[in-house]
Every structure is written in C-alpha cells, then in structure tokens.
Amino acid sequence: DVKVTQSSRYLVKRTGEKVFLECVQDMDHENMFWYRQDPGLGLRLIYFSYDVKMKEKGDIPEGYSVSREKKERFSLILESASTNQTSMYLCASGRAHEQYFGPGTRLTVT
Amino acid sequence: QKEVEQNSGPLSVPEGAIASLNCTYSDRGSQSFFWYRQYSGKSPELIMFIYSNGDKEDGRFTAQLNKASQYVSLLIRDSQPSDSATYLCAAALNTGFQKLVFGTGTRLLVSP
C-alpha cells in the first residue's frame, strides 16, 4: 500500500512565524503535491514537484515556498504565517494521474 | 479559470438505492477524470478514474464520461451507510502532466 505521512496532524502557530510542514512518501513516486482545503473552496494546489530539486507553482503559491532535497520528502514552508493561511494542508504523491494523499495537517495561525 | 463543478448537496438516498453524483468541467482539453471519496476528517482516497467516453465499472461503482457534453458522473449501486462521504471530482488538464483540478465535492448521505 502507498503510504504518505505528514509530520503533524494539528499545528498552532503565531502570526509572523516561519512554519515547516513535512511530507514523506515510501512508494518512490516522482511527483509530489501540496494542497490546501477550505470549506466551500475545495482542494487548491499550492506547489508540486516532479523531480528532486524541481518545483512548479500551483494555483495559489503566494506566501508559500517548497523544498525537495530527496525524492521521498517534500516540504511546504510558510515564510511568515498569516491568519488567512489557517487551513487543512494535504500532501499527495503519485505517478501518472493517480494521486495518494497523506492524512493532512490542520494548521491554525493565531 | 478552468473549473470543475459539482453540486454541494447533500444528496440523500436510502440504503440499497442508486446514488448518482454528477460533475461538469469547463476545459475541453481535459483528458482524464477522477473520483475521490473523502470521509469527514479524513483525506481523499481515489475510487476510480476514466479516460474514455462511456462507462467504466468497478464493483458497485460506475464512472460515466461524456466529453461532448463535458460531463462526468459516478453511480453507486446498492448504496450503503458506509458510502456516506463527500465525493470529489477531478480533471487532469491536457497541459499538465499530472495537475488536477478538483471540484468542491458533493456530500452523500445514505440512510439505513
């Protein structure tokens, strides 16, 4: 079975803090993704990566950056957290068009 | 803005009935379509994908695609209370190797 893990299920941070969200997959997938999910807005793609050290902007990259130093690990960085970044963050990995999601991190920025 | 649209629901069906979930998409270049199920508080899980016009069956699930009408549907036969969840439709754009556009989901409630 595909396994995608995320470093935290729940996280509370203060406005202005730098926040790191980690994602690890164990299926040797080339492609990894970061989404946020908000009520009424659905899943929105923040960034994705199709290879180590490669990254592409998704639909809502502003305020975020990513890092992929190893194939199995994809990190999402909030450079300076703001309250409008309070959300559920979901990591996914996959090949072709199939994507497998991690359990999610519910981030609250106060 | 390329969109995938779904009725938010809830769609309520009795146990044993057929649930029909629908999705439309705006980008005619979309090549493949996916249905994900998401239980409350959980992450989405892939149920089915379909690339070609027509029907694709997998157990109690049937995906239907009509590219001319830009319409995708998911039928769930013999619905069970355990099918109660939010169902997300997603389209893969022809310009992106794997970039998916998700709809906001339809909530399905199956009553015993």
For every one of its 112 residues, what pLDDT tens digit does chain B have, with 9 covering 90 and above?
668 999 989 999 999 999 999 999 998 888 889 999 999 999 999 999 998 899 999 999 999 999 999 999 999 999 999 999 999 999 987 655 668 889 999 999 999 9
Q: How confident is the model at residue A15 (pLDDT cuts 50, 70, 90)?
A: very high
**Which pLDDT tens digit goes with each residue over A36-92?**
999 888 899 999 998 898 999 999 999 999 999 999 999 999 999 999 999 999 999
CA distance A80 to chain B (A): 26
- B92-to-A76, B18, B29, B79, B98 alpha-carbon distances in Å: 23, 27, 9, 28, 6
Which residues lie below 8 Å from residue A61, measured CB to CB, with a gap of 6+? A46, A47
What are phi and psi for residue B83, nearest 5 degrees? Answer: -80, -10
Q: Are B51 and B35 in contact (CB under 8 A)?
A: no
Contact A97 B105 (CB under 8 A): no
CA atoms within 13 A on the CB side of B107: 9
**Which pLDDT tens digit goes with each residue over A94-110?**
887 688 999 999 999 99
> What tokens does A93 get?
């990995």
Which residues lie below 8 Å from residue B18, measured CB to CB, with a gap of 6+? B75, B76, B77, B78, B79
Please indicate whether residue B51 or residue A1 has the higher confidence score (pLDDT): B51
Q: Are A34 and A20 in contact (CB under 8 A)?
A: no
User: What order do you get walking across the sheet with A4-6 strand by strand?
Assistant: A4-6, A19-25, A73-78, A64-70
Question: Looking at the complex, does the CB of residue A89 fall below 8 Å from at least one CB of chain B?
Answer: no
- A7-to-A76, A91, B10, B49 alpha-carbon distances in Å: 11, 11, 33, 29
Contact B46 A98 (CB under 8 A): yes
Contact A58 B99 (CB under 8 A): yes
Q: Which residues of chain B does A50 touch, with a Cβ-Cβ cutoff of 8 Å?
A: 97-98
The per-residue pLDDT for A58 is: 92
